[in-house]
Amino acid sequence: MLQLDDGELIETVFIPEKTRGTLCISSQVGCAMGCKFCATGKLGFKRNLTTAEIIGQVWLVRQLRYKVTNVVVMGMGEPLLNIDNMLPALDLMMEDLACGLSKYRVTVSTVGIVPLMDKLFKASDASLAVSLHAPNDEIREKLIPMNQHYPIADIIAACKRFFENKKRKVIIEYVMLDKINDQKKHAKELVRLLEGVPCKVNLIPFNASPGFSYQASDDETIRAFQDVLMKAGVRTMQRRRRGADIQAACGQLAGNSRNI
């Protein structure tokens, strides 16, 4: 967690690995999306971060001597609802004379705000991740209220436009919720949905937070789900849990702060 000059807290998490260092940064203070499995959504929306506050997260972590090779805009907030401040920050991340990161190593995540997805495609070379989390609209609308405005079919069509424009795969993010979206029938439905979509699927173990009734899928269920996708030719990975012990993992909000 980082504390801004006005005292607000945002999620900024550095994930070190042997061959890379991934920095997860925020785009807003709070979030207006209200996704039903995400603790951050309960905070509500406070304000957009400025371009300086967005790129400042990368600058600060580098000043602390951490080697940042990848940046994912997957922290607090919906990045595309702050696109006017996000775009200059993305440019700085990929500018040789600034952060110098590859366009393949800067990723913007969205719940799927279709008109702004198209605006991102035209204005930036950043990679794309879509928080899908369900194989059909019936389940997704219960998890992600924004799906009522931009249903899955529209989001999938936008993903295809991204590939046509960038010739790169989309990352499909899928949180695994026990008996909600994690059964083999859901995996088969997801395979049909993603037919013809150049993508890779990232299965995310649910990180429990106080006040939520959802439970995490067990490891066996996740493996079975992944197996269905892999056998159908859909490249699938499972995200490792990090930070859950201090309520600082994906979809949680806790931890210590540092001024920025």
Write out the DSSP string of the chain.
-EE-TTS-EE--EEEE-SS-EEEE--SEEE-SS--TT-GGGGG-EEEEPPHHHHHHHHHHHHHTT----EEEE-SSS-GGGGHHHHHHHHHHHH-TTTT---GGGEEEEES--HHHHHHHHHH---EEEEE---SSHHHHHHH-GGGGTS-HHHHHHHHHHHHHHH--PEEEEEEEBTTTT-SHHHHHHHHHHTTT--EEEEEEE----TT----BPPHHHHHHHHHHHHHTT--EEEPPP-SGGGT-STT-------B-
Residues involved in catalysis:
11, 250
